Structure 1
Amino acid sequence: MLKILISGFEPFGGDAVNPTSELMEALTQEKVEGAELKTVLLPVHFDECADLLIAEMQAYKPDVVIACGLAKGRTAITPERIAVNVKDIPSSSYADNQGQRPVDEPIREDSPDGLFSTLPIRSMVNELTAAGIPAAVSNTAGTYICNNTMYRVLDWIRLEQLPIRAGFVHFPASTEMAVQQFSVPSLPIDMMLDGLRVMIRTVVHTAKG
């Protein structure tokens, strides 16, 4: 039985909802053959988000971590290829939920400039598109909370020399959000939940083979 820890985020940036928090709630009712699922909702705050996720990893001891976040403006589900060792919020963007706005700061001193996802991201995208769900590999997780979380998790796994596969997936805005912001690309939450199911099954199948 593969133990999979999946995380989402609370709302941020002035939005009342975050589709990844809705996905975490929906997953509490999910059963996936060959997998045991656990979810956690993270705060949008440097570096509390990663601290909480790593604490959950220490307690749960998962085989796989799939961290999920919102990338408003994207048109597809996008597994991330790499996280970079920087946290930077430009003045034109919003601060985190505690008002912090780091600029050009390393996430971890003396750690690598970048760390790659160890999830089967290409297989995940192939399975998503085969299921009729818009998907693509992304080569930038940004420099905000999502990148920060992905980097810290991968760096902790590296330092502890653990056999945990981990990475990050960005989701578009939900249709519910687009009702209030009609120009924002969106996907129905049901499609995003189907996409998360596909990615979980892909992780299980690739672990077997």
Structure 2
Amino acid sequence: MARVLMTGFAPFGGESVNPSWQAVSLLAARRDDVAAVELPCEFAASLPALRRALREHRPALVICVGQAGGRSEVTPERVAINLIDARIPDNAGAQPVDAPVVPDGPAAYFGTLPVKACVAAIRAAGVPAAVSHTAGTYVCNQVFYGLMHLLATEFPGVRGGFVHVPFSPEQVAAAGESAPSLSVPRIAGALEVLADTASAVTEDLAISAGTEH
């Protein structure tokens, strides 16, 4: 059994790659204690795939990773909301609007990663990072909320959370536009620091990471 389960997503939105999966698979290739699973970017299929991965690997820690194009930092997420409101169709063509992730589920779940300690450690390793307070309302938020619901109802004692990563330079170059990016090896290094910090730290730092808007 892997100590840490990390997931990334298949490419979506017309992209040919997804740095979340590239970085997760790169990290797993050099760490025997990390299992990597690619999730489909599909509302109907993502959570069943996540549940199968949890049952197969029985990890102590779960870190789901997604792409957040336009962000310039690695951003661990604090809270997932019970809402799907898709701006674009998923890879299966589905585009739910104002639907719950889990009918009659709680309005929100907080992740159980020490996000402030993780951000501090990633920054100390030389990679830009920040706490995020919104995972959006697309498949990333669905997986984050679904993960925390699964951990609360089916996998007690397992800690988990979600982290967004920027575009890779490859994506920015292919688009021919200017946007923030981080190389896949740097993202993988940040995720390694995050996983090690989250495994070792159970009580988060009492420092400010709030925002005004």
Q: Same fold (TM over 0.5)?
A: yes
- Give the aligned partner of residue 65 of structure 2: 68
Counterpart of 1:184 in structure 2: which amino acid? A
Q: 2:179 aligns with which of 171, 175, 184?
A: 184
Do the aligned partners of 1:47 and 1:148 also contact (CA within 8 Å) in 2? no
Deviation at 1:8, TM superposition (A): 0.3
TM-score under structure 1 length normalisation: 0.92
Deviation at 1:25, TM superposition (A): 2.5
- Give the aligned partner of residue 122 of structure 1: 116
Superposition pairs of residues 59-138 of structure 1, within 5 angstroms: 59-90=56-87, 94-138=88-132
Deviation at 1:132, TM superposition (A): 1.6
Deviation at 1:141, TM superposition (A): 0.2
Do the aligned partners of 2:2 and 2:58 also contact (CA within 8 Å) in 1? no
Distance 1:95 1:184 in 2: 23
Runs of 4+ with deviation above 3 angstroms: none
Cα distance change of structure 1 residues 61 and 69 upon mapping to structure 2, 3 Å threshold: same
Counterpart of 2:108 in structure 1: which amino acid? G
Do the aligned partners of 1:7 and 1:24 also contact (CA within 8 Å) in 2? yes
Deviation at 1:204, TM superposition (A): 2.5
Q: Does 1:54 align with 2:51?
A: yes
Deviation at 1:207, TM superposition (A): 5.5
Deviation at 1:161, TM superposition (A): 5.8
Which runs of no fewer than 5 residues in structure 1 stay unpaired? none
Do the aligned partners of 1:12 and 1:44 also contact (CA within 8 Å) in 2? yes
Counterpart of 2:180 in structure 1: which amino acid? P
Distance 2:135 2:91 in 1: 19
Cα distance change of structure 1 residues 172 and 85 upon mapping to structure 2, 3 Å threshold: same
Counterpart of 1:71 in structure 2: which amino acid? A
The structure that is strand-richer by fraction is 1
| Partner SS for 1:112 | coil
- Give the aligned partner of residue 146 of structure 1: 140
Counterpart of 1:52 in structure 2: which amino acid? A
- CA offsets, 1:81-134, max 9 Å, x none? 0000010113xxx21000000000011111100000001111100001111211
| Partner SS for 2:70 | coil
Distance 2:160 2:41 in 1: 19
* Farther-moved stretch of structure 1 (154-163 vs 167-176): 154-163
Give percent identity, aligned residues only: 38
* Farther-moved stretch of structure 1 (113-122 vs 152-161): 152-161
Distance 2:44 2:114 in 1: 26
Q: Does 1:163 align with 2:157?
A: yes
Number of residue pairs aligned between Structure 1 and Structure 2: 202
| Partner SS for 2:30 | coil
- Give the aligned partner of residue 196 of structure 1: 191
Do the aligned partners of 2:64 and 2:162 also contact (CA within 8 Å) in 1? yes
| Partner SS for 1:107 | coil
Counterpart of 2:11 in structure 1: which amino acid? P
Counterpart of 1:18 in structure 2: which amino acid? N
Do the aligned partners of 1:86 and 1:107 also contact (CA within 8 Å) in 2? yes
Q: CA RMSD in A?
A: 1.7
